[in-house]
A and B are shown apart, each in its own frame.
Chain A
C-alpha cells in the first residue's frame, strides 16, 4: 500500500451543489446504465432518497461539467447532448406570494418564476462553459432573444448570454421589489410561458452551427420543492410530444407520492410521457448494483488520496474472530445435517446432496451462531465493507457518513490510516451511529420530522422497539434464520391504514424505514403492506443474521413474519407482544 497517503478525509460528503467542481468530477462514478438513460431524448423521472446521488448525477451531466470533463478527461465538447441544470430548492421556488392572488394569476406568476429560472440556467451554463459559436450563430441567437425578450439590449452579439442573464435578473428584482411594497399585492410584469420563451431559445441554439445535431436536456433537480402549480406545469410540459430539440430529466425524492397531474386535469403516464430511473434499488445482496456502485465509490475515493488499487473490502476488513465463529457455526450445522441424513463425507455426495447441505448451512449456520452466543457476551463486531454497505440501505450518503467518521477518528488519534480501518474502530462508529439513531427515536421524532406529533413519535418509538424485541426473540429462539428484512401487515382496514400510512411517512422521512411497497393481493378487501425496515442505526443482534437476499414481494411467497392488525396495535401501544406474535 502507498504510505504517502495524505490526511485528507477521502469520505467527505456534502450536498452535490456545495462540492468543489474538481472534487465532484473526481468522485463521480460513471455508470453506463445511468448514462444511457440520461442520454435518451425522452423525458426521465429520477427517483431517489435524499443523499442517493440524484443531484450529483444531474450536475455531472450539466454543460459546465461537460466542459470540465472535456478538460480533465477529454470527454466530448461541445457535447451533442447538452445538460441545462435547474435547481429547484431555492428561495425563489419557496416564495408563496402568488397565493395571495386569484388562481389564474397564481399559475401565471408561478410559471414566470419557473421559466425565468430555466432561462437563467441556460444563460449561466453558456457563460460558464463558453462554446466557440460563429459570428452568424450569435446573430441567430441575438435575433431570437430580441424577439422573445423585448426589453433586452444586445449591443454585441457575443454577449447574448450575459445580456440574457442580466435581463432575467432585472425582471426578477423589479418584480420582487414591487411585491415587497405596501400592503396590497398588485404587480406588473411581462408574463412569459415555457413555450413563449424557453422553447424559442432552445430552438435558436439548435439552429446554430455547433448544435445542429444536439439535444438539450433540461435537468430539473429537487422537483418536489416546486409549488403545486409549477409541478402541474412541469407535468404538462412532459406531455409535449416533440423531443427533437429538448427533453426533461427530473429528479424527485419520493416519486410514489409525487403529484403527476397536469394543468388540464390529466395525468402523465410512465412509458408514454416519461421513463423512470429508480435509484431506490435493492441493496441487500453483495451482487446488487448498489453494492457494486458503493464499492466503486469507496475505491475511487481511496484512489483520490493515494490509495490506488486498495479494495474496499481490504480497507474495511471483516473481524477475523467473527468470521471464524461463523465458520465454526456453519461447520457444526453441516456436521449435524450430514449425521442426520446418514451421509458420511461431504466430498462423496452428489451435486444435489451438496446443494442441500449448502442450503441447510445457509439457513441455519448464522442463526446457530447467534442462538448459542452467551447472554452476557459482548455485542458482535460490526465491521466489514459488506456490513457497511448493508447498513447504508441504498443511500450513498449513509455509507460515506460512517466511513468519514471512522477515518476522522483515526486521524484525530494520530493513528495510521493507509492500512485500513481497524475492525474495532468500524464497530465503535457503527454502534455510536446506532446510539444516535435510537437516542433520536426515544427523544422524539416530532423534533426532527415536519408534521410529526408527539403521539406519532411515541407510537413509532413503541413500534420500532417492539419490532426489535420481537426480532431478537426470534433470533435467539428459533432454529432457522428468520427473514427479518421486512414485515407484513395483513387485514389492514382503510381507517387503520390512513393512520399507519402517516406513521410510515414519518418513519421514511426520518430515514428509519426505507420503503413502503403496497401490493394489492388478489383477495377482496385485503391489502398487504410490506415494509422494508431500514437497519441504518438500528444495530440489534438480528441485524447480522438477515438473509442478504432481496425481499420477496410475490403474493403467496412471503417468508417474513406476518404482523396482524391487533398485534401491530399492541406494538404501537407498547404492550408486550412477544407471546401474541408467536
Chain B
C-alpha cells in the first residue's frame, strides 16, 4: 500500500538527512513537507535539496506553507491542504523530528480524523548547540480540536512531560495557576540532559502541589503511555480540568497525543517560541531513531466523565485496543 511521508521543514541537518534516509529506504510514494512561512528563507536550502532527492527517487513532493504565528492560521492552512494528499485508510509516516508541537498535533488530529494509518518517526540530532535552543516564549495556548473538556467550577491540573527547559514549565504553572501538577522529568544522560536540567529540582521537587517522577520522554510506546497513566491518580479526570503539555523531547508530544485519545477531556497546551537558534543542532544519529504507531481509538463515552473501571491500554508496544 502507498505510504505518504509527512515532514516539517527545518534548517537543521537532521531534517534533510532524515527525510533522505527514509526516501532511500524505499516504500515512500509521496512526500508532503509542511514549512513555516516565517522561516521559509532559512529552510529554503534544505527544501531545494529535498526536491532533488525526491526527483531522483520518483517520489512526488508537495509543500504546505503555514503561518506559525497564530493557531488559527496554521490550522486553517493544514486542514485545507492535508486532505488533498492523505485519505482514509492510507498509510502515513510522520517524521516529527523538527515539527513544532502545535502543527504536529494539528497534523496528527487531521490524519486521525481522515482515518489514516499513522506511524511516526523521530530522528535524534548528532548534537544540540551548547548555546540557547529557543527563546522569546509567547503566551501558552490551547490546541484547537484538542482543548479538552473544561468545566467551570473545577480547578486546574497540569500533566507535563518536561525536558531541560524547565522555565517553560514554570511559565505554564504561573499562567494557569493549577492546584496540582504531575511532572515527568526526563531521565538519562542523553544530549547533556543533566546539565541542562540544572535548577529543575530546586524549582519543582518538594513543591507541595507538584509531583515529580522520572519519565523517559523519548519512549512514546503504548507501554509508556500506560506507565504515565499509572502515575496519575485515577480521579483527576473527574476532579479537575486537566491540561497536558509536552515540554520535553519531541516524542513526548506523541505520548500526550495518545493520552488525549484515551482521555479527550484533557486539553493540550503549547507554548510557542518567538525565536529558534539557527545552529539548533548538528548532524543526525540514525542509530537512536525512535518510531512507533498511533492507533485510532474509539473515543471514550464521556456522558458522566467517569474514570474507567479497567485500564483502557493493553500492555505491549503500540498495541492500543481499537
* B110 contacts A172, C-beta separation under 8 Å: no
* A453 contacts B136, C-beta separation under 8 Å: yes
A83-113 CB contacts (< 8 Å) to partner B: 86-87, 89-92, 94-97, 99-100
* B142 contacts A96, C-beta separation under 8 Å: yes
From B6-14, B40-48, B150-158, B246-254, the one touching the partner chain is B150-158
Does B276 have its Cβ within 8 Å of any Cβ on chain A? no
Does A17 have its Cβ within 8 Å of any Cβ on chain B? yes
* B241 contacts A90, C-beta separation under 8 Å: yes
Residues of B within 8 A of A18 (CB): 155, 177, 179, 209
Shortest Cβ distance from residue A129 to the other chain B in the assembled complex, whole angstroms: 14
Which of A97, A165, A176, A447 contacts B144, CB < 8 Å? A97
B261-316 CB contacts (< 8 Å) to partner A: 264, 267, 274-275, 299, 302-303, 305
A100-B75, A453-B136 as given contacts; A90 in contact with B302, CB under 8 Å: no
A89-B177, A91-B241 as given contacts; A177 in contact with B155, CB under 8 Å: no
A90-B152, A117-B152, A446-B135 as given contacts; A453 in contact with B274, CB under 8 Å: yes
Shortest Cβ distance from residue B126 to the other chain A in the assembled complex, whole angstroms: 26
Residues of A within 8 A of B151 (CB): 92, 120, 169, 172-173
Does B85 have its Cβ within 8 Å of any Cβ on chain A? no
Which partner residue on chain A sits nearest B146 by CB separation? Answer: A180
* A448 contacts B167, C-beta separation under 8 Å: yes
* A94 contacts B142, C-beta separation under 8 Å: yes
A162-192 CB contacts (< 8 Å) to partner B: 165, 168-169, 172-173, 176-177, 179-183
Residues of B within 8 A of A116 (CB): 152
User: What bracket does the count of chain B residues touching chain A fall in?
Assistant: 35 or more
Does B113 have its Cβ within 8 Å of any Cβ on chain A? yes
Which partner residue on chain A sits nearest B72 by CB separation? Answer: A99
* A454 contacts B153, C-beta separation under 8 Å: no
State the CA gap A168–B139 with chains docked (Å).
29
Which of B142, B153, B155, B274 contacts A165, CB < 8 Å? B153
Which partner residue on chain A sits nearest B176 by CB separation? Answer: A89
A173-B149, A448-B171 as given contacts; A454 in contact with B275, CB under 8 Å: yes
Does B103 have its Cβ within 8 Å of any Cβ on chain A? no
* A100 contacts B149, C-beta separation under 8 Å: no
Does B71 have its Cβ within 8 Å of any Cβ on chain A? yes
- Provide the B157-190 mask, 1 if CB < 8 A to any CB of A, else 0: 0000000000100110000110100000000000
* A447 contacts B135, C-beta separation under 8 Å: yes
A96-B141, A100-B72, A179-B145 as given contacts; A444 in contact with B135, CB under 8 Å: yes
State the CA gap A95–B147 with chains docked (Å).
7
Which partner residue on chain B sits nearest A95 by CB separation? Answer: B147
State the CA gap A36–B145 with chains docked (Å).
45
Q: Of residues A173, A180, A447, which shows the largest number of chain B Cβ atoms within 10 Å of its Cβ? A: A180
Residues of B within 8 A of A544 (CB): none
State the CA gap A447–B275 with chains docked (Å).
11
Residues of A within 8 A of B52 (CB): none
State the CA gap A312–B137 with chains docked (Å).
40
Which partner residue on chain A sits nearest B266 by CB separation? Answer: A91
* B71 contacts A96, C-beta separation under 8 Å: yes
* A95 contacts B264, C-beta separation under 8 Å: no
Residues of B within 8 A of A169 (CB): 151
Does B114 have its Cβ within 8 Å of any Cβ on chain A? yes
Residues of A within 8 A of B51 (CB): none
State the CA gap A146–B146 with chains docked (Å).
33
Residues of A within 8 A of B72 (CB): 96, 99-100
Which of A90, A97, A165 contacts B156, CB < 8 Å? A90
Does A411 have its Cβ within 8 Å of any Cβ on chain B? no
Shortest Cβ distance from residue A166 to the other chain B in the assembled complex, whole angstroms: 10
* A172 contacts B149, C-beta separation under 8 Å: yes
Residues of B within 8 A of A120 (CB): 151-153
Residues of B within 8 A of A168 (CB): 152
Does A452 have its Cβ within 8 Å of any Cβ on chain B? yes
Does B21 have its Cβ within 8 Å of any Cβ on chain A? no
* B176 contacts A121, C-beta separation under 8 Å: no
A18-B209, A446-B135, A448-B167 as given contacts; A121 in contact with B142, CB under 8 Å: no
* A453 contacts B241, C-beta separation under 8 Å: no
Does B76 have its Cβ within 8 Å of any Cβ on chain A? yes
Shortest Cβ distance from residue A158 to the other chain B in the assembled complex, whole angstroms: 20
Q: Top 3 nearest A-B pairs by Cβ distance?
A: A91-B150, A117-B152, A92-B150
Further 4 A-B residue pairs, CB within 8 A, beyond A14-B209, A444-B135:
A91-B150, A100-B75, A180-B149, A451-B139
Binding site for A on B (CB under 8 A): 71-72, 75-76, 79, 83, 109-110, 113-114, 135-139, 141-142, 144-156, 167, 170-171, 176-177, 179, 209, 241, 243, 264, 267, 274-275, 299, 302-303, 305
CB pairs A–B below 8 angstroms (16 shown): A17-B155, A17-B179, A90-B241, A91-B142, A92-B151, A97-B147, A120-B152, A165-B153, A168-B152, A179-B147, A180-B264, A183-B113, A447-B137, A450-B137, A450-B171, A454-B275
